[in-house]
């Protein structure tokens, strides 16, 4: 019965396609990225449709049949007007795509280089094959990341061995974790919930199992949780 | 499994054992069949040959073998990923990592490259009116070095030490600290040895195209396949030395204790830069020749010259140039800063323009033409929509901020399979069906060819389209399992079904080759009503084609001759002297010696390194002291 449910729900998922994790953003960063994905997809559908329509039309109309098989097509070298058209139009299309690309890429980087006030700082250590999260008050968690809603969270990413990559699809793009160099990532979650986190850079034998849970709590719950954990460690 | 022999226990993994049994049995069967059919003289001819057509056939044959091997690995990957939390056979953890590493390495270096280089060897000299490649002996050396490298990488599995750091071999994972086994040494030396062969092949192609064209065959009258070959060869010449350097310093890090990629002064990012400065041109190296093949085939079967010839050539050149300016788009998540990321995002987007020009030119070649749906044409038609999907996802991936979501997810896997299979593999199949008559004087069966095409292409889309969605749903690359709650089961299950359809298509191809040799359909010089010079010489192409030497006055010279001259090409007064073909055991000997040399390094045997090193050098000395021109001149004097 449960299997049937899994199959049914996945068929529905294919049909809907909307609650894909990447397209269901829960932070400002991820919203910008999701917008870019959908915007570029829409632009590209124009190109794709044009090509497919021409393709089907030409292949159907000019195929060899019994009647025309002795015809020798007219010699045609090219056509300046057409060639200029399909050089200029894509350039315009790409210019339209380039503007938000540059804008949002800069925004995401800028927000990661500044340190906002009232931010939560978390030291993230990646090692084969687990994640360790250390809070400013000394609380250490493994494979479970708890963060408050509506407060910027600064991740200080460090690796103990090889390159890993920190990825919570619903909270935004990934950031490589490189040994010997600290990388920073800032996200501000704007919805409570539990989200999957993964290592995205192949890092060895059990790379597939290097996952963590991200739990976004309200600020009140987060305060209580961090105090409770603090008492535990003491 | 463990078994006992002479009171000692031996352990061997069951997949390796099965592979040994399969290889030994099929090897024995092939040995028996060759002996029974008395084909050893033919084998000897092929092993010692320096003729471009035979070397092309050898390339294609070995590429097909490796295609089967890496294809089986793909099926293994798909079976393990068919359902969540699968525990199939031995393919979890390291075994799975080895499977996708060698699948990638072999498919790129030992399938895509030799398929295209093989077709270049078969077709390019004939298309430009050359009598052979410029350096026939070096051509044989290229092939055998390629094969030596390929055998090294394939051997690693049987020595239970497959490479396991991904085909990109990112440091520090590929450093001996984290992967101490011999696997990645096999990767380093296999690619290094075959890389030398590839560089030599590129030099050979450039000289052949620049120096050995028929009289009147200006560059502006050259068909597009030689054009793409010329540009590709320059890309190889510039990109492959970068790989050589990268592998070299990786070798030093692994074996001799240097710290290029670790420690205070070193950085793992250096490897990524070096690898992708090679790696991005590499993906254009394996797509541009396919573009050339499609141009020639679409033109032939539309019975029209290629539309916008000049813009086609310019587009290939621009793609080649831009190919060197986009490597950072593989590294958007490394954290190089917004300026670098946006610059490389823009250059990457720009590549879409020349590619788009080519797509529209192909479409307009067909417009007002007369389209014959032969098997090569079917593959070319299948390529257009497939490659456009790969192209548009490529533009989507170039958006730097969005790429942080796609990067290292199944979306990327889908994208590059759409371009590499939809471009390179379909192009290679199209080229094989198209030039098969030129290689063997027989046609492949059309009906089986159509089965091959439809099974392969439908299977392909079923396999790779869902991967876009799995990636958007957060499935990372290179994982051997996933959970039910990840909601990617259905995509993976559908993918697995498609992969087996592609496998059936490939079987149809192999069956087609067998059937075509069993009941041959002999063809004349010109089975397709061709347009270019290769269809003016007998099939299979003889050792000395173009007697008398044609004089080229126009683009598509054979077509023009058929229209206006009753099929006779105008003759040239004089021709360039043909390169001298020799038969020699030296190329295969040199490659064998290189293999021993590499193995001595992989297993740290200093005495063997010295002996094999002297052996390799002595081949160079011998070659320097022989000159077939002297021999030929003497023979001519004595006549």
Which tens digit of pLDDT belongs to each residue from A76-99? 899 999 999 999 999 999 999 999
**pLDDT tens digits, B242-251:** 999 999 999 9
In this prediction, residue B242 carries a pLDDT of: 97
What is the DSSP pairing of strand A211-217 with strand A144-148?
A: parallel
CB-closest option in B165, B363, B395 to A44 = B395
Rg (CA), chain A: 25
User: Does the distance separating the beta carbons of A69 and B370 come in below 8 Å?
Assistant: yes
Check if B396 contacts A (Cβ < 8 Å): yes
User: Does the distance separating the beta carbons of A162 and B404 come in below 8 Å?
Assistant: no
pLDDT band at A7 (very low <50, low <70, confident <90, very high): low
Element (H, E) at B522: strand B521-522
In this prediction, residue B279 carries a pLDDT of: 95
Q: Which residues of A touch B165 (CB under 8 A)?
A: 202
Check if A67 contacts B (Cβ < 8 Å): no
Q: In B362-389, which positions are buried (b, 16+ CB within 10 angstroms) versus exposed (e)?
A: bbbbbbebbbbebbbbbbbbbbbbbbbb
pLDDT surpasses 60 at B564: yes
Question: Which 8-state DSSP code applies to residue A164?
Answer: E
Check if A154 contacts B (Cβ < 8 Å): no
Tell me phi and psi for residue A175, to 5 degrees: -135, 125
Check if A143 contacts B (Cβ < 8 Å): no
Residue of chain B whose alpha carbon sits nearest to that of A25 = B405
Compute the average pLDDT of residues B20-44. 95
Cα dist. B213→B7, B382, B438, B540, B578 in Å?
Answer: 68, 32, 19, 21, 11
In this prediction, residue A5 carries a pLDDT of: 60
In this prediction, residue A69 carries a pLDDT of: 86
CA distance B295 to chain A (A): 14
Q: Which of A131, A203, A83, A208 is nearest to B359 (CA)?
A: A83
CB-closest option in B357, B409, B477 to A87 = B357
Rg (CA), chain B: 25
The pTM score is: 0.95
In this prediction, residue A111 carries a pLDDT of: 72
CA distance B544 to chain A (A): 33
Which tokens sit at B102?
Answer: 């060698």
CB-closest option in A33, A180, A208 to B404 = A33
Check if A179 contacts B (Cβ < 8 Å): yes
Compute the average pLDDT of residues B268-291. 96
Q: How far apart are the first and last CA of chain A?
A: 47
In this prediction, residue B581 carries a pLDDT of: 82
Which tokens sit at B311?
Answer: 């813009």
Please name every residue paired with A124 in a beta bridge, in sequence order, or none if there are none.
A133, A157
User: Does the distance separating the beta carbons of A55 and B363 come in below 8 Å?
Assistant: yes
In this prediction, residue A103 carries a pLDDT of: 95
Check if A65 contacts B (Cβ < 8 Å): no
Check if B333 contacts A (Cβ < 8 Å): yes
CA–centroid distance for B587 within its chain: 21
User: Does the distance separating the beta carbons of B384 and A51 come in below 8 Å?
Assistant: yes
Whether cis (ω within 30° of 0) applies to the bond prior to B548 is: yes
Question: Which 8-state DSSP code applies to residue A138?
Answer: S
**pLDDT tens digits, B343-369:** 999 999 999 999 999 999 999 999 999
pLDDT surpasses 60 at A13: no
Check if B308 contacts A (Cβ < 8 Å): yes
Element (H, E) at B468: helix B446-472
pLDDT surpasses 80 at B25: yes
pLDDT surpasses 80 at B462: yes
Please name every residue paired with B5 in a beta bridge, in sequence order, or none if there are none.
B8
Please name every residue paired with B138 in a beta bridge, in sequence order, or none if there are none.
none
Question: Which 8-state DSSP code applies to residue B255?
Answer: H
Q: Which B residues in the span 452-481 are in contact with A, Cβ-Cβ below 8 Å?
A: 466, 469, 471-474, 476-481
In terms of Cβ atoms closer than 10 Å to its own Cβ (0-12, 13-18, 19+), residue B215 is middle
In this prediction, residue B635 carries a pLDDT of: 81
In this prediction, residue B120 carries a pLDDT of: 97
Check if A95 contacts B (Cβ < 8 Å): no
Which tokens sit at B206?
Answer: 């450039």
Chain A and chain B share a number of CB contacts under 8 A equal to 273
pLDDT surpasses 90 at B448: yes
**CA atoms of B534 and A156, how far apart (whole Å):** 63
User: Does the distance separating the beta carbons of A94 and B360 come in below 8 Å?
Assistant: no
User: Does the distance separating the beta carbons of A55 and B178 come in below 8 Å?
Assistant: no
Q: Which of B336, B359, B189 is nearest to B276 (CA)?
A: B336
Check if A97 contacts B (Cβ < 8 Å): yes
pLDDT band at A152 (very low <50, low <70, confident <90, very high): very high
User: Does the distance separating the beta carbons of A204 and B392 come in below 8 Å?
Assistant: no
Question: Are the beta carbons of A156 and A124 closer than 8 angstroms?
Answer: yes
pLDDT band at B286 (very low <50, low <70, confident <90, very high): very high
Compute the average pLDDT of residues B475-483. 96
pLDDT band at B639 (very low <50, low <70, confident <90, very high): low
pLDDT surpasses 60 at A10: no
User: Does the distance separating the beta carbons of B403 and A48 come in below 8 Å?
Assistant: no
What is the DSSP pairing of strand A120-127 with strand A130-135?
A: antiparallel
**CA atoms of A2 and A9, how far apart (whole Å):** 10
What is the DSSP pairing of strand B521-522 with strand A144-148?
A: unpaired
CB-closest option in B303, B371, B389 to A72 = B303
The structure tokens 């994972």 sit at: B173
CB-closest option in A40, A73, A199 to B303 = A73
Residue of chain A whose alpha carbon sits nearest to that of B355 = A87
**CA atoms of B605 and B405, how far apart (whole Å):** 46
CB-closest option in B179, B310, B370 to A64 = B370
The count of other CB atoms within 10 Å of the CB of residue A89 is: 15
Q: Which residues of B touch A48 (CB under 8 A)?
A: 388-389, 392
CB-closest option in A47, A169, A205 to B474 = A169
Question: Are the beta carbons of B452 and B508 closer than 8 angstroms?
Answer: yes
**Contacts (Cβ under 8 Å, ≥6 apart) of B504:** B455, B459
Please name every residue paired with A193 in a beta bridge, in sequence order, or none if there are none.
A216
Interface with chain B: mutation pick from A72, A93, A105, highest number of B CBs within 10 Å? A105
The structure tokens 């986190």 sit at: A197
Check if B94 contacts A (Cβ < 8 Å): yes
CB-closest option in A75, A91, A202 to B477 = A202
**CA atoms of B34 and B49, how far apart (whole Å):** 19
CB-closest option in B262, B403, B479 to A207 = B479
Check if B181 contacts A (Cβ < 8 Å): no
Q: Which residues of B touch A22 (CB under 8 A)?
A: 405, 471-474
**Contacts (Cβ under 8 Å, ≥6 apart) of B456:** B429, B501, B502, B505, B506, B508, B509
**pLDDT tens digits, A59-80:** 999 999 988 888 899 988 999 9
**Contacts (Cβ under 8 Å, ≥6 apart) of A65:** none
Compute the average pLDDT of residues B157-184. 93
Please name every residue paired with B521 in a beta bridge, in sequence order, or none if there are none.
B443
Which tokens sit at B85?
Answer: 């939390």
Q: Which of B475, B330, B77, B466 is nearest to A198 (CA)?
A: B475
**pLDDT tens digits, B590-626:** 999 999 999 999 999 999 999 999 999 999 999 999 8
pLDDT surpasses 60 at A12: no
Residue of chain B whose alpha carbon sits nearest to that of A81 = B308
**CA atoms of A181 and B272, how far apart (whole Å):** 15
Compute the average pLDDT of residues B172-180. 93
pLDDT surpasses 80 at B3: no
pLDDT band at A16 (very low <50, low <70, confident <90, very high): low
Q: What is the phi-psi region of residue B38: left when phi exceeds 0, alpha when psi lies from -120 to 50, beta otherwise?
A: left
Q: Which residues of B touch A87 (CB under 8 A)?
A: 311, 353, 356-357
In this prediction, residue B543 carries a pLDDT of: 87
In this prediction, residue B353 carries a pLDDT of: 96
pLDDT band at A114 (very low <50, low <70, confident <90, very high): confident
Element (H, E) at A100: helix A80-113
pLDDT band at A11 (very low <50, low <70, confident <90, very high): low
**CA atoms of B267 and B278, how far apart (whole Å):** 18
**Contacts (Cβ under 8 Å, ≥6 apart) of B147:** B58, B62, B194, B591
pLDDT surpasses 60 at B497: yes
Which tokens sit at A16?
Answer: 């809907």
Q: How far apart are the first and last CA of chain B?
A: 68
Compute the average pLDDT of residues A202-221. 95
Q: Which residues of B touch A38 (CB under 8 A)?
A: none
């Amino acid at each position: 019965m449960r299997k049937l449910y899994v199959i049914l729900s996945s068929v529905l998922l294919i049909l809907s396609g909307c609650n894909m994790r990447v397209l269901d953003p829960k932070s400002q960063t991820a919203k910008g990225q999701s917008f870019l994905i959908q915007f570029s997809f829409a632009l590209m559908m124009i190109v794709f449709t044009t090509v497919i329509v021409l393709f089907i039309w030409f292949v159907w109309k000019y195929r060899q049949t019994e009647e025309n098989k002795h015809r020798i097509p007219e010699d045609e070298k090219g056509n300046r007007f057409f060639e200029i058209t399909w050089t200029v139009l894509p350039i315009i299309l790409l210019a339209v795509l380039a503007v938000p690309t540059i804008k949002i890429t800069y925004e995401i980087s800028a927000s990661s280089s500044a340190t906002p006030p009232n931010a939560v700082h978390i030291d993230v250590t990646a090692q084969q094959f687990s994640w360790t999260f250390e809070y400013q008050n000394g609380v250490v968690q493994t494979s479970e990341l708890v963060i408050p809603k509506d407060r910027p969270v600064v991740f200080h990413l460090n690796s103990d061995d090889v390159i890993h990559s920190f990825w919570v699809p619903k909270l935004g793009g990934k950031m490589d974790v490189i040994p010997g160099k600290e990388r920073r990532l800032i996200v501000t979650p704007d919805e409570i919930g539990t989200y999957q986190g993964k290592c995205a850079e192949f890092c060895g034998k059990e790379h597939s199992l290097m996952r963590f849970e991200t739990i976004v709590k309200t600020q009140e719950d987060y305060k209580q949780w961090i105090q409770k954990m603090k008492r535990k460690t003491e | 499994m463990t078994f006992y022999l002479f009171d000692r226990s031996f352990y061997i993994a069951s997949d390796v054992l099965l592979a040994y049994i399969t290889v030994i049995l099929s090897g024995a069967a092939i040995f028996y069949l060759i002996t029974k059919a008395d084909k050893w003289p033919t084998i000897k001819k092929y092993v010692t040959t320096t003729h471009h057509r035979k070397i092309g056939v050898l390339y294609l044959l070995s590429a097909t073998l490796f295609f089967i091997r890496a294809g089986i690995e793909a099926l293994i990957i798909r079976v393990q990923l068919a359902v969540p939390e699968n525990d199939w056979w031995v393919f979890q953890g390291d075994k799975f990592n080895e499977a996708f590493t060698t699948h990638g390495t072999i498919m790129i270096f030992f399938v895509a490259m030799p398929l295209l280089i093989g077709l270049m060897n078969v077709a390019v000299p004939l298309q430009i009116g050359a009598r052979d490649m410029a350096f026939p002996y070096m051509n044989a050396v290229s092939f055998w070095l390629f094969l030596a490298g390929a055998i090294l990488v394939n051997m690693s599995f049987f020595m239970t030490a497959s490479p396991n750091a991904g085909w990109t071999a990112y440091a520090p994972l590929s450093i001996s600290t984290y992967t101490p086994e011999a696997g990645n040494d096999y990767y380093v030396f296999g690619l290094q040895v075959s890389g030398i062969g590839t560089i030599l092949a590129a030099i050979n192609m450039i000289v052949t195209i620049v120096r050995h064209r028929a009289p009147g065959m200006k560059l502006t009258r050259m068909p597009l396949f030689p054009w793409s070959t010329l540009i590709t060869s320059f890309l190889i010449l510039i990109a492959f030395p970068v790989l050589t350097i990268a592998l070299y310093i990786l070798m030093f890090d692994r074996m001799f204790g240097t710290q290029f990629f670790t420690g205070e002064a070193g950085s793992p990012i250096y490897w990524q830069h070096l690898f992708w400065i090679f790696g991005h041109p590499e993906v254009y190296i394996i797509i541009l020749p396919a573009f050339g093949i499609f141009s020639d085939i679409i033109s032939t079967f539309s019975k029209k010259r290629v539309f916008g010839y000049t813009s086609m050539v310019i587009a290939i050149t621009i793609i080649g140039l831009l190919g060197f300016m986009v490597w950072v788009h593989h590294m958007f998540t490394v954290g190089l800063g917004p300026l670098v990321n946006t610059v490389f995002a823009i250059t990457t987007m720009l590549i879409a323009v020349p590619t788009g020009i080519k797509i529209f030119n192909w479409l307009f070649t067909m417009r007002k033409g007369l389209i014959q749906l032969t098997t090569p044409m079917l593959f070319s038609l299948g390529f257009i929509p497939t490659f456009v999907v790969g192209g548009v996802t490529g533009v989507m991936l170039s958006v730097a901020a969005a790429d942080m979501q796609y990067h290292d997810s199944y979306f990327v896997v889908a994208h590059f399979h759409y371009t590499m299979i939809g471009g390179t593999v379909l192009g290679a199949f199209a080229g094989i069906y198209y030039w098969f008559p030129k290689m063997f004087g027989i046609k492949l069966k059309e009906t089986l060819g159509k089965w091959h095409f439809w099974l392969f292409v439908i299977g392909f889309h079923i396999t790779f389209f869902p991967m876009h969605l799995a990636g958007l749903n957060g499935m990372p690359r290179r994982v051997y399992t996933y959970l039910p709650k990840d909601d990617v089961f259905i995509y993976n299950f559908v993918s697995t079904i498609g992969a087996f359809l592609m496998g059936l298509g490939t079987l149809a191809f192999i069956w087609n080759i067998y059937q075509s040799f069993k009941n041959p359909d002999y063809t004349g010089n010109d089975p397709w009503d061709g347009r270019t010079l290769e269809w003016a010489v007998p099939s299979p192409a003889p050792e000395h084609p173009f007697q008398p030497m044609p004089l080229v006055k126009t683009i598509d010279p054979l077509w023009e001759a058929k229209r206006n001259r009753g099929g006779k090409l105008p003759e040239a007064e004089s021709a360039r002297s043909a390169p001298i073909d020799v038969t020699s055991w030296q190329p295969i000997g040199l490659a064998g010696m290189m293999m021993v040399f590499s193995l001595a390094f992989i297993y740290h045997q200093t005495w063997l390194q010295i002996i094999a090193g002297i052996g390799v050098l002595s081949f160079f000395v011998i070659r320097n002291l022989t000159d077939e021109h002297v021999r030929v001149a003497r023979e001519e004097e004595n006549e």
